Amino acid sequence: MKEYETINEISGPLVYAEVDEPIGYDEIVEIETEDGRTLRGQVLESSDGLVAIQVFEGTSGIDLDASVRFLGETLKMPVTEDLLGRVMDGTGQPIDGGPEIVPESREDIIGAAINPYSREYPEEFIQTGVSAIDGMNTLVRGQKLPIFSASGLPHNELALQIARQASVPEEEEDGEDGSEFAVIFGAMGITQEEANEFMDDFERTGALERSVVFANLADDPAVERTVTPRLALTTAEYLAFEKDYHVLVILTDMTNYCEALREIGAAREEVPGRRGYPGYMYTDLATLYERAGRIEGREGSVTQLPILTMPGDDDTHPIPDLTGYITEGQIYVDRDLNSQGVQPPVNVLPSLSRLMDDGIGEGLTRGDHGDVADQMYAAYAEGEDLRDLVNIVGREALSDRDNKYLDFADDFETEFIDQGFDTNRELDDTLDIGWDLLSQLPKEELNRIDEELIKEYYDASEEVEATAD
Amino acid sequence: MSQATQQDAETGVIESVSGPVVTAQDLDARMNDVVYVGDEGLMGEVIEIEGNVTTIQVYEETSGVGPGEPVENTGEPLSVDLGPGILDAIYDGTQRPLDVLEDKMNSAFLDRGVDAPGIDLDKEWEFQPEVEAGDEVSAGDVVGIVEETVTIDHKVMVPPDYEGGEVVSVESGDHTVTETVVELDNGEEISMHQEWPVRTPRPAVEKQTPTKPLISGQRVLDGLFPIAKGGTAAIPGPFGSGKTVTQHQLAKWADADIVVYVGCGERGNEMTEVIEDFPELDDPKTGNPLMARTCLIANTSNMPVAARESCIYTGITIAEFFRDMGYDVALMADSTSRWAEAMREISSRLEEMPGEEGYPAYLSARLSQFYERAGYFENVNGTEGSVSVIGAVSPPGGDFSEPVTQNTLRIVKTFWALDADLAERRHFPSINWNESYSLYREQLDPWFEENVTEDWAEIRQWAIDVLDEEDELQEIVQLVGKDALPEDQQLTLEIARYLREGYLQQDAFHPTDTFCPPEKTYAILTAIKTYNDEAFDALDAGVPVEDLVSLDSTPQINRIGVQEDYEEYVEELKDDITEELRGMY
């Protein structure tokens, strides 16, 4: 291992150094400054005689006399089951004052792609206890389902609620199948306050002991953020595929991650893509999101719940847009619902879970699940449309049928969606509330529900009402 | 990918590495030659030569590769292996079989530097000759048949670049694909294996005007916006609007002989769904497993970006090979936007001058070259075959004015516009009937009129007119409400509602409704037309519109789709509607 004192340019987060031996792409670098600090970085570009180094901790304090050491290997994450319960900074160094981590193995943080042939299609339901998700946008093990939110909205509360309540049905039936639930929390550029909120909740609910936390805070160097999610996912893959855990990875906030990518791109004077983000952002995000999944013959699974805040509430912004094209659906947190006090303020209409259809139904959740969700979607969409009309002509001008749909839309929000951040609803309850709401509509309107199911549930709930009268 | 011969190997030295782009010095190479990069032998392709410096795009992750490592030239362009064993296979973007890779790497994760031939070179196939000694054969001619799968007879052809001549010997029976099965008098040896460079179209005699529809079993497509065998179609739509489901439906139910499905830069779990689903599904035409006619190419979004650029070419070359045998091939590419983005990414690493939105200036040329490889062809050997190309497009933010969508629309003749609003209200397939179009409609009508029903075009026009009228009326309804409209327009809205719910909507996940033959598509329209005609008669006779829109029988229209024996059901329903309406006056 050779040491160089050959830095000839420092620009933003990048350092250029002259070398006289070949240096591998992505290799890890240590830079020692005059005042004795050691900074870590990664090779971004390697050409004969010159390398570009991206310094994780930022370049402040580095001068042309700083010494550069190439470690000859790419960045590795030391992994072990003992990581559960630990809190690390954004580069994977423990900050909780606990014992030193004795790794069982060291894994390359740039994970290899899962061979599509070796994957197992995700179709096992995760109950989150949130009706808007369980009922209408079901999450399954091995899925990547982002939360599309914006500044000032309670996405963190929703993420915490899911982290707290998430359970898999089989876990309840027999806890002895060896698969346990673990939560990995990767924070990128969140504020100290937000971080405290998460940590307090983890500690209060005892969730910390089944969690691993990686925290890159708002005042930590931005470049470090490009590493944090990869450390989190490498740990997740290890726990899932080597130790049979069902791992839920919460990544927040992906917007900060993308900002860091843009910063590096700009420092390297790359040709920018849309809105200045690098042209390879799709590929880069895919190498994170695609690390969710299940593998044939392994017990565990990696499920991802990335959170991103849409700049200007605009879902055509490159960050939510590219994310939406990679992930298997999205959950929208809605400003209007939030100001109405609906908790959690999930707007189900633009939300979607692509893996829902295969993860629900007879034998998985309940036979009527799909039809009920479809019908509620259609009815709520119709009610929403009518609200615009009401603003112009008033309720009296609408037909009886239209008024029923309007009532349905209102009740849907107040009874189905609004459950509070502390209520954990069983799926059966969620669907029963759904039937209750649907029974406000005339039977002929339920054109998406199988006739047999209407007989079983609609008529049943009508009878109950009749006796109650 | 093809195991290119390595005799003229010329070795160079890596100069720099930046992601998938590597430059090498002293490499004697031609454009588009395949090279092996670094100590691990990662596969790459030459994309630029400038003086002594050669630029290479590498098809695998380049972490850890550094200057000074060797680069070895194979002297061959990127080629695919063609021969029996392609169907029922699943490849990555450079035709490496993923199941073989799993075995070789002994891991669920994709390792680097492992190569595998596109077809099994050791497996023996039974060769049934169609020629005998003394026959004259020329390039493209079929010399024998191999039963590749239960559905498809693989035709062994004289490679297109052979001269041809008189057959001097024929070896029938079991052979591996590399063994010679037919020998010609000029010394040319024909085996069951061919190689073909992916960026060169396979030759054909001429491209003909397509006149036969590619029946998809999807009502909105077959009924309103049909695509021809040999045609091109684009499916643009924002995320979540159902592109992939539509592509899957086409791959499952389209009445092509062969389906090549290219998953280009899409989700891993979606490819797994295809891999798990297709073997269990039956081909509606033959009853055999669907995989027996399918070749899958999976280059998921986290697999190397250069291989994403090549997977489209790998797919279309395989499609052309089966076309040469006289088959109708359908190629689904999901999604061409990811392919264009791969071009953009590599272009920007080459520091090329960007065109619109950072895409390279040659975007439009590449797209049209690709779609031009589709068509209904007369092949070199006299047979007719077709390649239909259906490309999904993923416009950022659902904005159809972006370069990939616009350049695609200039080329393709069928446009299925997916609509996020429709998807939000769970109207599936969410193909917008006002924006979509098919330029094949007139040219396919004669086929439908001959094979399905005489008034196919007429009743379709009626449906389109009603939907158009609804679109106009909806604008008024948004302002003043439905009850303010005259009675006949209120009735039109109700009829249009049945067209939307009972005809345009189709449940891809319902075992019966997922595939709807053209006869059934027509039957549903006739039921709605019956309601239309009878209801307007009743309206003329003075029956108030409130009664006409609240019949007991009409909601059954929405259930025709799920009926297996629909004929009787539709006839009864028509009678019920007629009876109910005539009873009112």
Cβ contact A28:A38 at 8 Å: no
| Residue (of B458, B548, B558) closest to B500 by Cα position | B558
| DSSP-derived 3-state class of residue A184 | strand
Question: Which residues contact residue A385 at a Cβ distance below 8 angstroms, ignoring those fewer than 6 apart?
Answer: none
Residues of B in contact with A241 (CB under 8 A): 108
Q: How confident is the model at residue A23 (pLDDT cuts 50, 70, 90)?
A: confident
Q: What residue in B sits closest to A357 (Cα-Cα)?
A: B509
Q: Give me the total of CB pairs closer than 8 Å, taking one residue from chain A and one from chain B.
A: 224
Report d(CA B188, CA B195) in Å as an integer: 15
Using a CB-CB cut-off of 8 Å, the residues of chain B touching A116 are 90, 98, 263, 268, 271-272, 275, 298, 300
Q: Are residues B430 and B506 in the same domain?
A: no
Among A74, A290, A352, the residue with its CB nearest the CB of B268 is A290
Contact: B239, A321; criterion CB under 8 Å? yes
Query: Are B123 and B146 spatial neighbours (Cβ–Cβ below 8 Å)?
Result: no
Q: Is residue B111 part of a domain?
A: no
The answer to whether B379 and B320 are in contact (CB under 8 A) is no
Out of A74, A112, A291, the one facing B110 most closely (by C-beta) is A112
Q: Cα–Cα distance between B303 and B414 in angstroms, integer?
A: 30
Radius of gyration (Cα) for chain B, nearest Å? Answer: 27
Is the pLDDT at B5 greater than 60, yes or no? Answer: no
Cα torsion through A227, A228, A234, A240, rounded to 10: -160
B429 and B460 co-located in one domain: no
Q: Closest by alpha carbon to B188, among B166, B156, B155?
A: B166
Residue B561 placed within a domain = yes
Three-class SS of A212-275: EEEEEECCCCHHHHHCHHHHHHHHHHHHHHCCCCEEEEEEECHHHHHHHHHHHHHHCCCCECHH
For residue B23, the cross-strand partners are: B16, B55
Q: Identify the H or E element spanning A467.
A: helix A459-468
Same domain, B531 and B383: no
What is the mean predicted confidence (pLDDT) over A70-90?
A: 90
- The predicted pLDDT at position B495 comes to 95
Give the three-class secondary structure for B244.
helix
Burial of B565 (0-12, 13-18, 19+ CB in 10 A): exposed
CB hemisphere CA count around A288 (13 angstroms): 29
Closest residue, chain A, to B354 (C-alpha):
A271
**With an 8 Å Cβ cutoff, are B345 and A279 in contact?**
yes
pLDDT digits (tens, 9 = 90+) for B331-379: 999 889 999 988 888 888 788 888 888 889 999 999 999 999 999 999 9
Are the Cβ atoms of A378 and B298 closer than 8 angstroms? no
| Residue B340 identity | A
Question: What is the tally of structural domains in chain B?
Answer: 3
Q: Are residues B428 and B483 in the same domain?
A: no
| pLDDT confidence band for B8 (50 / 70 / 90) | very low
A430: three-class secondary structure by DSSP: helix
Measured in whole angstroms, the distance separating CA B280 from the mean position of its chain's CA atoms is 20
**What are the DSSP calls for B97-120, one per residue?**
BHHHHHHHHTSSB--SS----SS-
User: Is the pLDDT score of B124 beyond 70?
Assistant: yes
Q: Quick one: which of B329, B199, B315 has its CA closest to B257?
A: B329
CB atoms within 10 A of CB B434: 12
Place of tokens 């000029």: B186
Angle at A439 between CA A436 and CA A440, to 5 degrees: 105
- B261 chain-A contacts, CB cut-off 8 A: none
Contacts of A402 (CB under 8 A, 6+ apart): A386, A389
- Mark whether B274 and B222 lie in a shared domain: yes
**Which of A46, A441, A454 is most worth mutating to test chain B (most B CB atoms within 10 A of its CB)?**
A46
- Whether residue B450 is contained in a domain is answered as no
**What CATH number should be reported for the domain holding residue B308?**
3.40.50.300
The pLDDT score that the predictor gives to residue A462 is 63
Question: How sure is the predictor about A202, in pLDDT bands with cuts at 50, 70 and 90?
Answer: confident
Instruction: Identify all chain B residues contacting A121, using CB atoms and an 8 Å cutoff.
Output: 269, 272-273, 276
**Predicted pLDDT at A238:** 95
| ipTM value for the complex | 0.82
Q: Distance (Å, rounded) from C-alpha B15 to C-alpha A325?
A: 35
Q: A-chain residues within 8 Å CB-CB of B351?
A: 271
Strands B294-299 and B258-264, by their bridges, are parallel
Q: Which residue has the tokens 């158009």?
A: B468
Q: Is the same domain home to B327 and B465? A: no
Neighbours of A341 (CB within 10 A): 9
CA distance A36 to chain B (A): 28
Q: What is the 3-state secondary structure (H, E, C) of B74-102?
A: EEEECEEEECCCCCCCEECCCCCEHHHHH
- Rounded Cα distance between B180 and B169, Å, is 10
pLDDT above 70: residue A468: no
Q: What 3-state class would DSSP assign to B72?
A: strand
Please, are residues A293 and A114 in contact by the beta-carbon 8 Å criterion?
Answer: yes
Handedness of CA B368, B371, B375, B377 (dihedral sign): positive
Q: Which domain holds residue B20?
A: 3-74
Tens digits of per-residue pLDDT, B404-418?
999 999 999 999 999
Q: Is residue B93 part of a domain?
A: no
Assess contact for A89 and A260: CB atoms under 8 A.
no
Q: Note whether B14 and B59 are same-domain residues.
A: yes
Contact A185, A212 (CB under 8 A): yes
B442-469 mean pLDDT: 94
Domain final residue, candidates B74, B105, B126: B74
- Asked whether the bond before A344 is cis by omega within 30 degrees of 0, the reply is yes
Rounded distance, CA A181 to CA A189, Å? Answer: 26
- The tens digit of pLDDT for each residue in A42-57 reads 888 888 788 889 888 7
Chain A residue nearest residue B299, CA to CA? A116
Buried b (16+ CB within 10 A) or exposed e, B270-303: bbbbbbebbeeeebbeeeebbbbbbbbbbbbbbb
Tell me, what's the pLDDT at B369?
Answer: 94
Same domain, yes or no, for B418 and B478? no
Is the Cβ pair B425, A447 closer than 8 Å?
no
A107-130 pLDDT per residue, tens: 988 888 899 899 999 988 889 999
Within a domain: B145: no
Q: Where in chain A is the domain with CATH 3.40.50.12240?
A: 77-360
Q: Does domain A2-74 sit in CATH 2.40.10.170? A: yes
Q: What is the pLDDT of residues B473-515, one digit of tens each?
A: 998 888 887 888 999 999 999 999 999 999 999 988 888 999 9
Q: Which residues pair with B176 in a beta bridge?
A: B124
Residue range(s) occupied by CATH 2.40.10.170 in chain A: 2-74
pLDDT of residue B201: 94
Q: Do B414 and B523 fall into the same domain?
A: no
CB-nearest to A23 from B66, B102, B238 is B66
Rounded mean pLDDT, A446-452: 84
Do B421 and B478 sit in the same domain of this protein?
no
Asked which of B52, B74, B96 is the last residue of a domain, the reply is B74
Specify if B356 maps to a domain. Answer: yes
**Same structural domain for residues B282 and B413?**
yes
Residue B540 lies in a domain: yes
- Choose among A148, A93, A206: nearest CA to A349: A148
In the structure, what pLDDT confidence band is assigned to residue B138 with cuts at 50, 70 and 90?
Answer: very high
DSSP code string of A405-428: HHHHHHHIIIIII---TT----HH
Nearest to B16 among A48, A290, A370 (CB): A48
Pick the residue of A282, A330, A377, A448 with the most B CBs within 10 A to test the interface with B by mutation: A282
Q: How far apart are CA A44 and CA A32, in angstroms?
A: 19
Topology at the third CATH level for domain A77-360: Rossmann fold (3.40.50)
Rounded Cα distance between A455 and B3, Å, is: 63
pLDDT for the residue numbered A222: 80
Peptide bond into B360 cis (omega under 30): no
Last residue of a domain, one of B55, B74, B93: B74
Assess if residue B131 is contained within a domain.
Answer: no
Mean pLDDT of B118-134: 92
Q: Residue A38: pLDDT above 90?
A: no
Residue type, A69: R
Q: How far is A68 from chain B (nearest CA, A)?
A: 17
Of the listed ranges A122-131, A320-329, B383-392, B420-429, the one predicted with least confidence:
B420-429
**Are residues A113 and B66, on separate chains, in Cβ contact within 8 Å?**
no
| Res A170: pLDDT | 62
Chain A interface disruption, residue of B59, B88, B269, B404, most A CBs within 10 A: B269
B415 and B547 part of one domain: no
Q: Do B101 and A115 touch (CB under 8 A)?
A: yes
